[in-house]
Amino acid sequence: MSTIILVDDQPIANFITRKLLEIEGYNEDVIDFTNPEEALVYLEDKQNTLIFLDLNMPEMNGWEFLDYLKSKSQEHRIIILTSSTSTIDQNRAKEYDSVIKYVEKPLNKDKFKELQPLLQQQ
Amino acid sequence: MESLQDRNSRVYRITYETFSKFSNNLNRCKSLEEVSKVSERFLKYLLNFHLFRISVNQAGSYLVYCQCNSKGEFELVPKENLLPYEIKILEDNIPIRTEKIPIELSKKISETILESPFLWSWTFKKMDIDFTVSLVADENKAFDTGDIEMLKLISDSFQAKFQEIYLKEELDSKNKSLLQALDIIKNQNRKINQIVENQKQTIADRTKEVVEKNEKLLRISALNAHNVREPLSRIQGIVQLYDVFDDATCREELLPKLKQSSEEMDQVLQEVIKMATTELNQLKANEL
């Protein structure tokens, strides 16, 4: 199983996602980042990584994160995990080929079931 | 020795040559003042009189020209201010030849001692325009029925010229009125255009204002969506973990995080309420 990356400026948000992953059996190879730039450094030599990405972050937001990956032609599989319910954000996410799913927080068991096929492609 | 017939022919020719000059000069007149000058110059050679007066109807009022002692003058009077004999003759159409000279006329020729004076007066109508012609003559300046034909020609010339001047003045007056109306319309158009421009500007300003208000409301809405839902979603996420973990784990790991997220949510809510209140107060203040 490949590594799963969690990018959210809120440590509690990463904690919740990590715990849900653990409950579903993904208790290894999960790395979380509260600083998106550190995540980008980690991803420099990686390809096709599954990333849970928050959008509203103070230093570098989720869109900038996606743009950076696009500019570097780095191919990863992004699940946007955000508290935003805005259709503007939802439509904008569709413009990125790397975004495979848009999920509104809170992540729960039902939403997780929908993500299972994506996780199993790892 | 010149025969009587030759003499009469010569007088006749001179009279009509004079009338021709009078008529030509009158035709060239463009104002009543010019008419007066022509009349003062020629009329005494065409007729014998002490006073000549013609009153021509012009749209209800009468233009009166009176020439006495080689001095002519005009006045415009309403019908009721004509001399009584004129009003009468206009009504009964009966020519007058009388020794009774109205005081209004005799006063004008008071410098001359009249010998057996007569007032002659006729009324004519030409193209629905009525007018009276009067003259005062005496033995020194004798007028007789043989002069009536010349008087008629002179009267027609006066009446035609008066009518021409009157119509020209009326046309000028109407043209002037039209130009004034045109100026008023132009001014009104300018004002209307100004109002339209102002309205456009007002609409543009109001539209801009509404767009700005909407943007502010959208910002508040977005703030609600992002900032409030962020800690709330964490609280919801932690709560669902309570079903999975044992009590000790819940107490040690989840409870502090729940507390922290609740405090963050309270803080965010206070900020949102404060910002929304400030923005709404500002919008209301702008509307006032």
Task: Write out the E strands in B24-147.
Answer: 51-58, 61-68, 71-78, 96-98, 118-126, 129-137
Nearest to A81 by CA among A50, A44, A47, A39: A50
Q: pLDDT (tens digit, 9 = 90+) per residue, A4-42?
A: 999 999 999 999 999 988 888 887 789 999 999 999 999
Same domain, B137 and B20: yes
Q: pLDDT band at residue B146, thresholds of 50, 70 and 90?
A: confident
> Please, are residues B248 and B275 in contact by the beta-carbon 8 Å criterion?
no
Domains, chain A, in order of start with CATH, read 4-120 (3.40.50.2300)
Q: Pick from B232, B240, B257: which is nearest to A12 by CB?
A: B257
CA–CA–CA angle B112, B113, B118 (5° rounding):
100
Does residue B123 lie in a domain region? yes
Q: What does the DSSP assignment read for B203-239?
A: HHHHHHHHHHHHHHHHHHHHHIIIIIHHHHHHHHHHH
Cα separation, B115 vs B271, whole angstroms: 119
Beta bridge partners of B52: B67, B135
Tell me which of B120, B143, B166 is where a domain ends: B143
Tell me which of B143, B161, B177 is where a domain ends: B143
Same domain, B23 and B135: yes
Nearest to B93 by CA among B127, B130, B52, B148: B130
Strand order in the sheet with A4-7: A30-33, A4-7, A50-53, A77-82, A99-104
Does residue B77 lie in a domain region? yes
Single-letter residue type at B133: V
On whether any CB of chain B is under 8 Å from the CB of A98, the answer is no
User: Across residues A93-121, what is the average pLDDT?
Assistant: 89
Tokens of B274: 């404060």
Same domain, B280 and B202: yes
Does residue B151 lie in a domain region? no
Which pLDDT score is estimated for B288? Answer: 62
User: Do A19 and B225 make contact, defined as CB atoms within 8 angstroms?
Assistant: no
User: Across residues B58-86, what is the average pLDDT?
Assistant: 92
Same domain, B91 and B205: no
Query: Can you tell me the ipTM of this complex?
Result: 0.88
| A25-54 residues touching B, CB cutoff 8 A | none
Does residue B276 lie in a domain region? yes
Spell A73-106 as b/e; 16+ CB within 10 A means b. ebebbbbbbbbbeeeebeebbeebeebbebbbbb
Q: Which residue of B has its CA nearest to A9?
A: B230
User: Do B229 and A105 make contact, defined as CB atoms within 8 angstroms?
Assistant: yes
Cα separation, B110 vs B86, whole angstroms: 21
Q: Which residue of A has its CA nearest to B240?
A: A108
Which pLDDT score is estimated for B85? Answer: 95
User: Do A109 and B234 make contact, defined as CB atoms within 8 angstroms?
Assistant: no
Q: pLDDT (tens digit, 9 = 90+) per residue, B3-59?
A: 777 777 877 788 889 999 999 999 999 999 999 999 999 999 999 999 999 999 988
Same domain, B208 and B136: no
- Number of domains making up chain B: 2
On whether any CB of chain B is under 8 Å from the CB of A16, the answer is yes
Does residue B40 lie in a domain region? yes
Which pLDDT score is estimated for B16? Answer: 85
Three-state DSSP class for residue B248: helix
Same domain, B101 and B210: no
Tell me which of B113, B143, B173 is where a domain ends: B143
Same domain, B133 and B208: no
Same domain, B17 and B87: yes
pTM of structure: 0.51
Domain that holds residue B204: 195-287
Which pLDDT score is estimated for B12? Answer: 78
Selected residue with higher pLDDT from A26 and B196 = B196
User: Which chain A residues are within 8 Å of B237, Cβ to Cβ?
Assistant: 12-13, 16, 20, 105-108
User: Do B230 and A56 make contact, defined as CB atoms within 8 angstroms?
Assistant: yes
Same domain, B40 and B133: yes
Question: Tell me, what CATH number does B69's domain have?
Answer: 3.30.450.40
> Please, are residues B53 and B135 in contact by the beta-carbon 8 Å criterion?
yes
Helices A11-23 & B229-241 angle (0-180, nearest 10)? 30
Same domain, B127 and B238: no
In Å, how far is A1's CA from the nearest CA of chain B?
Answer: 24
Cα separation, B123 vs A7, whole angstroms: 118
On whether any CB of chain B is under 8 Å from the CB of A111, the answer is no
Q: pLDDT band at residue B287, thresholds of 50, 70 and 90?
A: low
Q: Where are the alpha helices (DSSP H) in chain B?
A: 4-28, 32-46, 84-92, 103-106, 148-223, 229-241, 247-249, 255-287
Does residue B34 lie in a domain region? yes
Single-letter residue type at B120: W
Same domain, B34 and B138: yes
> Please, are residues A82 and A111 in contact by the beta-carbon 8 Å criterion?
no
Which pLDDT score is estimated for A1? Answer: 57
User: Do A85 and B229 make contact, defined as CB atoms within 8 angstroms?
Assistant: yes
Three-state DSSP class for residue B39: helix
User: Which chain B residues are within 8 Å of A15, Cβ to Cβ?
Assistant: 257
Beta bridge partners of B71: B68
Which pLDDT score is estimated for B261? Answer: 92
Cα separation, B166 vs B179, whole angstroms: 20
Same domain, B215 and B137: no
Q: pLDDT (tens digit, 9 = 90+) per residue, A63-97?
A: 999 999 999 988 999 999 998 888 889 999 999 99
Cα separation, A54 vs A47, whole angstroms: 20
Nearest to B143 by CA among B197, B79, B210, B96: B96
Does residue B152 lie in a domain region? no
Does residue B201 lie in a domain region? yes
Q: Which of B71-75, B90-94, B214-218 has the lowest mean pLDDT?
A: B214-218
